[in-house]
Structure 1
Amino acid sequence: MRRMIAGLRPLWCLLLVLVATVIIGDLAGLIPAPESIWWVPGVVAVGAVSGAGLQIAPRAKPHSLQLMSCPVRGEWTSLNTPGQRLPSHGTRTLGQWCAVDVLKPTTESTPPLLHHRLRASAPEDYESFGEPVHAMATGTVIRRRHRARDHRARNTWVSRLLMVTVEGLLRTLAGPSALLGNHVVVDHGDGTVAVYAHLQRNSVLPETGARLRVGGVLGRVGNSGNSSEPHLHVQLMDRTRLSTAAGLKLAWHDVILTDELDARLAEFIAEPERSAIKDMPPMGEIFTTPWAEEPGRRE
């Protein structure tokens, strides 16, 4: 039942657009309202049902922890991570139950999370931007997008506010692709599917149908889609369609935790919750991978 309701996501989005159109049209006097006020509860009810429908997500059957290779090389830190809690992003929708966000550790030149300037930071100002992204496991590319622009960070108060309100809503209504930005979806052939999101424009290397080996470079870190600053978002699912997919438990077998914390993320750092996956880096902890950077490989 949950998958069926989640699969109706385009319908819920369409109904919300219609509700918003009716409300705005009535307030602006562009739509003649009926004399009876009973249409108001009806519109509110449709909006409430549609909003609730967008929050319903399927849950995967009981499964073991999926161990895979880390998709980045060198020194990184984690932000929204299953090493802190589940669901890692606060929702199960769109297969995000065990999603991970990673970015390069803070340096003296890293822009602040928020500042009072009028103009937000450019993606090129961040160390994460342009870093190679590697396949976590062998699989086949079944979907890709590579032409979305890399927008500026959302690190001014105005841009952050617009992101969590207007921009976030518009991207949600536009569909998963608008949220993911440039991305690659890889089917591993064993019932697991990986998504690599917010990639750099025109950096996606493999074509749809290409076969990737573990460690092969598939793109570079960007700032496309619903992203506040350049970072990599990865997640593991049980289906190829995001709206009906359930997230799967994921851990990287080749990371080394340093017990060092990223100073810029200090305000978000807390003790991991009971639901956290112990093998994954918790919020704000810097980790490394022993892999050397290697060129893209395909079968």
Structure 2
Amino acid sequence: MPVPTTPPGTASSAPARRRRDLVNRLLSEVSAAGFLLFCTLLVWDLFLPVRLPGGWTTVVVPGFVSVGLVAYRGHRAAVEYRTTEPPEPVEVGVPVTGRWVAHNSPVDKTPSHGTHEYAQTYAIDIVAEPVAGRNPGFSWLWPLVRRSSAYPAYGVPLLATADATVVRARDGQRDHLSRSSPLMVIYLLVVEGLARSLISPWLVIGNHVVLDLGDGNYALYAHVMRGSLTVKEGDKVTAGQTIGRCGNSGNSTEPHVHFQLMDRPDPILARGVPFRWRGMELPANGRAFTAPEPEPGAAPDADGDIAPAPASDTL
């Protein structure tokens, strides 16, 4: 029997939406508390002379509960996706210029990143490749890691995709070494990434900026370079304006741009929103594309970045 779906914009009443938000928030906070309790008990059992009652069972139960809550949170997001019709795609500008290659594209599948959590249903990853085949690839044996500066995407300007208001901006997390070998990918998935997802989605996302595009749509840029944001909360930005630089923070194997639209500014509570890029087709996985220069209204500054054009004189 087909699952009944709800038209876009009427997924639930206001009280039902508040209950959903409350449950999602509680699941996130309790899973974080469970993971921190697991870490505390593990350190206690390994290094303190006083043994815990119940031994290892006492240690591992909070960890299993935490992982289970994260899995349940993902299940809830998947059920909601199946029972709600998606909204119409929103047209926005491309967040970069130059030649790039798409990965984890919603053109090929949804959810594009294998999960509906954190409003990633229609998210896309893009990797800079100014010259075909010149981007450092995956290393099966050596080197295990590379510096972020070895990748052409690192430090590339990120552009506002529309006239918008900045509602969240954080760039204090470090840009780590790449996770571009089998051993380091396992480390990312099993240790580093799991710990981040259990503690806070913002650690998964890394440095980021969220733009309010209006009409209930929000753009999220993830894995931004540490200290690179040129905007702060409350700032008004124009389409094509530089808002930061591509980095390698959070759950990232190499410097790249993670871009998504969502219907709320908080990815814990939001649902993904489909989008299309103005002036070009949204690329499929593995497809190279060249993003056009920003539309008139934004121009390079003295350092070669893209800056808003100066306002004209007025009476």
Structure-2-length-normalised TM-score: 0.77
Partner of 1:275: none
Question: Which residue among 49, 52, 66 is the counterpart of 1:32?
Answer: 52
Partner of 1:132: 157
Query: Equivalents in 2 of 1:151, 1:18: separation in Å?
Result: 26
Letter in 2 for 1:214: A
Equivalent residue runs for 1:283-298 within 5 Å = 283-291=285-293, 294=299, 295-297=306-308
Task: Check 1:17–1:138 CA distance in 2 against 1; reply closer, same or farther (3 A cut).
Answer: same
Partner of 1:145: 170
Number of paired residues? 275
Equivalent residue runs for 1:49-64 within 5 Å = 49-55=68-74, 56-57=76-77, 59=81, 62-64=86-88
Query: Equivalents in 1 of 2:216, 2:37: separation in Å?
Result: 37
- What secondary structure, in the 3-state scheme, does the structure 1 residue paired with 2:176 have? coil
Task: Report the aligned-residue RMSD.
Answer: 2.9
Task: Check 1:44–1:193 CA distance in 2 against 1; reply closer, same or farther (3 A cut).
Answer: closer
% same residue: 32
Partner of 1:97: 121
Question: Could you report, residue by residue, the CA deviation over 1:84-112 in whole angstroms, capped at 9, with x for unpaired residues?
Answer: 11111011111111111001136454222
1:186, CA displacement in angstroms?
0.7
- Asked if 1 retains the 8 angstrom alpha-carbon contact of 2:205 and 2:222, the reply is yes
Task: Check 1:135–1:109 CA distance in 2 against 1; reply closer, same or farther (3 A cut).
Answer: same
- Asked if 1 retains the 8 angstrom alpha-carbon contact of 2:219 and 2:259, the reply is yes
Structure 1 range deviating more: 18-27 or 143-152: 18-27
Partner of 1:202: 227
Query: Equivalents in 1 of 2:126, 2:162: separation in Å?
Result: 18
Partner of 2:283: 281
- What secondary structure, in the 3-state scheme, does the structure 2 residue paired with 1:206 have? coil
1:52, CA displacement in angstroms?
3.0
Structure 2: give runs of 5+ residues left out of the alignment: 1-18, 300-305
- What secondary structure, in the 3-state scheme, does the structure 2 residue paired with 1:124 have? helix
Task: Check 1:44–1:176 CA distance in 2 against 1; reply closer, same or farther (3 A cut).
Answer: closer
1:145, CA displacement in angstroms?
1.0
Equivalent residue runs for 1:80-229 within 5 Å = 80-105=104-129, 107-229=132-254
Query: Equivalents in 1 of 2:268, 2:283: separation in Å?
Result: 27
Question: Which residue among 41, 65, 72 is the counterpart of 1:46?
Answer: 65
- What secondary structure, in the 3-state scheme, does the structure 1 residue paired with 2:251 have? coil
Structure-1-length-normalised TM-score: 0.81
Higher relative contact order (CA closer than 8 Å, sequence separation 6+):
1
Structure 1: give runs of 5+ residues left out of the alignment: 256-278
- What secondary structure, in the 3-state scheme, does the structure 2 residue paired with 1:161 have? helix
